[in-house]
């Protein structure tokens, strides 16, 4: 009998797990795939949508709870918080904080990731594409550290005391496509609400991953409700006035019927299309 397949996500903030891979994560969890998650920070530089929920001083603790609520909803069995500080958006003062994840030393982070990989032995890993969706410094950093850690984990000569070498079979970048934001912008515009967020986002996403470069599409209609329930766990980030909350769930479900994954490792042959992240893995 084949060994059960395992999935490990490498992300930067509480809420990164929702929009691009959340429905897929819920689907695999439902199929009893063990799933663990790395979260490099507790999102300390995020918003506080409602001052009754958190203060700048305790936002990290509150967002840790929000992440655990989301993980439980999606079916992630363990979240590994690395404990770095949220570096904030590019160009903000938070970038300079000595504990900011963007200023972390890979020589310190990579062995911690290697230990997680070698203990959990995932077959498939997920992380951001190189631009982190929209250039967030922490998204770019976890992308880089993930590549270093996957390589190191597979090398028996690298810190053997961290466990037996393990090669992750596939690394995917879950995508948030321009097409989704364009469709959401239209719905927001139709309600006569401010769409400047989308214009700023489009500017920041210019270096992002092309919409048509993916090797796997997962139909998430069955788990969309779970994904959207997990989204609501992140109450400090997505308050009542958040744009994502101006659209009824059924309409949002119609915009988010599928999740798209680009295969990063091994490099895909042209035209490759997988019907499952684990398809064909021994
Ligand atoms: Zn993030």
SS3 41: strand
How far does the centroid of ligand 1 lie from the alpha carbon of residue 133, in Å? 9
Looking at the domain assignment, is residue 272 inside a domain?
A: no
**29: containing domain:** 7-177+211-265
Distance CA 2, CA 204 (A): 43
Q: How many angstroms is it from 33 CA to the middle of ligand 1?
A: 24
Distance 15 CA to ligand 1 centre (A): 7
Residue 190 three-state SS? helix
216 in a structural domain: yes
Measured CA to CA, the distance from residue 67 to residue 118 in angstroms comes to: 24
Find the 280 Cα to ligand 1 centroid distance in Å: 31
- 190: in domain: no
How many other CB atoms sit within 10 Å of the CB of residue 34? 18
- pLDDT (0 to 100) of residue 241: 87
Interval between CA 127 and ligand 1 midpoint (Å): 11
Q: From ligand 1's centre to the CA of 139, what distance in Å? A: 6
Q: What is the pLDDT of residue 51?
A: 94
236 Cα to the center of ligand 1, angstroms: 14
SS3 121: coil
Neighbours of 282 (CB within 10 A): 6
Q: Which of 68, 7, 8, 2 lies closest to 33, judged by CA?
A: 7
Domain count across the chain? 1
- Measured CA to CA, the distance from residue 148 to residue 109 in angstroms comes to 10
CATH code (residue 95): 3.40.50.10320
Confirm whether 23 is domain-assigned: yes
Of 83, 84, 63, nearest in space to 18 by CA:
63
Asked whether residue 71 is assigned to any structural domain, the reply reads yes
Q: How far apart are CA 159 and CA 34, in angstroms?
A: 26
What is the Cα–Cα distance from 32 to 50, expressed in whole angstroms?
36
- Conformation bin of residue 204: beta by default, left when phi > 0, alpha when psi is -120 to 50: alpha
Look at residues 262, 271, 257, 269 and name the one whose alpha carbon lies nearest to residue 218.
257
CB 124 within 8 A of CB 35: no
Give domain status of residue 149, yes or no: yes
Q: Are 11 and 127 in contact (CB under 8 A)?
A: yes
CA of 39 to the centre of ligand 1 (A): 10
pLDDT, tens digit only, all 282 positions of the chain: 567 899 999 999 999 999 999 999 999 999 999 999 999 999 999 999 999 999 999 999 999 999 999 999 999 999 999 999 999 999 999 999 999 999 999 999 999 999 999 999 999 999 999 999 999 999 999 999 999 999 999 999 999 999 999 999 999 999 999 999 999 999 999 999 999 999 999 999 988 999 999 999 999 999 999 999 999 999 999 998 898 999 999 999 999 999 999 999 999 999 999 999 999 998
What is the 16 CA–ligand 1 centroid distance (Å)? 5
Report residue 2 as tokens: 């084949």
Residue 198 lies in a domain: no
Q: How far is the CA of 138 from the centre of ligand 1 (A)?
A: 7
- Rounded to 10 degrees, the C-alpha dihedral 137/138/142/143 comes to -40
| Rounded Cα distance, 276 and 3, in Å | 17
Q: Is residue 199 part of a domain?
A: no
């Amino acid at each position: 009998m084949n060994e059960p397949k395992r999935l490990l996500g490498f992300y930067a903030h509480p809420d990164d797990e929702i929009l691009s891979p959340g429905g897929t994560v819920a689907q695999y969890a439902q199929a009893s795939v063990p799933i663990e998650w790395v979260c490099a920070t507790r999102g300390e530089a995020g918003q506080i949508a409602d001052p009754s929920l958190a203060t700048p001083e305790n936002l990290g603790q509150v967002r840790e709870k929000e992440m655990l609520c989301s993980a439980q909803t999606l079916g992630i069995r363990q979240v590994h918080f690395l404990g770095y500080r949220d570096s904030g958006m590019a160009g903000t003062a938070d970038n300079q904080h000595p504990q900011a994840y963007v200023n972390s030393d890979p020589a310190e982070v990579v062995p911690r990731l290697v230990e997680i990989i070698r203990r959990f032995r995932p077959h498939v890993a997920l992380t951001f594409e190189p631009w982190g969706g929209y250039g967030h410094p922490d998204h770019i950093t976890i992308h880089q550290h993930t590549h270093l850690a996957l390589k190191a984990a597979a090398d028996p000569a690298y810190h053997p005391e961290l466990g037996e070498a393990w090669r992750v079979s596939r690394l995917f970048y879950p995508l948030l496509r321009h097409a989704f934001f364009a469709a959401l912008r239209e719905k927001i515009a139709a309600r006569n609400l401010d769409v400047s967020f989308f214009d700023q986002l489009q500017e920041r996403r210019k270096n992002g991953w092309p919409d048509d470069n993916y090797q796997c599409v997962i139909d998430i209609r069955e788990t969309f409700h779970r994904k959207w329930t997990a989204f609501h766990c992140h109450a400090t980030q997505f308050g009542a006035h958040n744009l994502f909350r101006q659209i009824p769930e059924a309409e949002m479900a119609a915009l988010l019927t599928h999740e798209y994954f680009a295969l990063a490792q091994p490099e895909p042959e042209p035209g490759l299309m997988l019907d499952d992240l684990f398809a064909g893995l021994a």
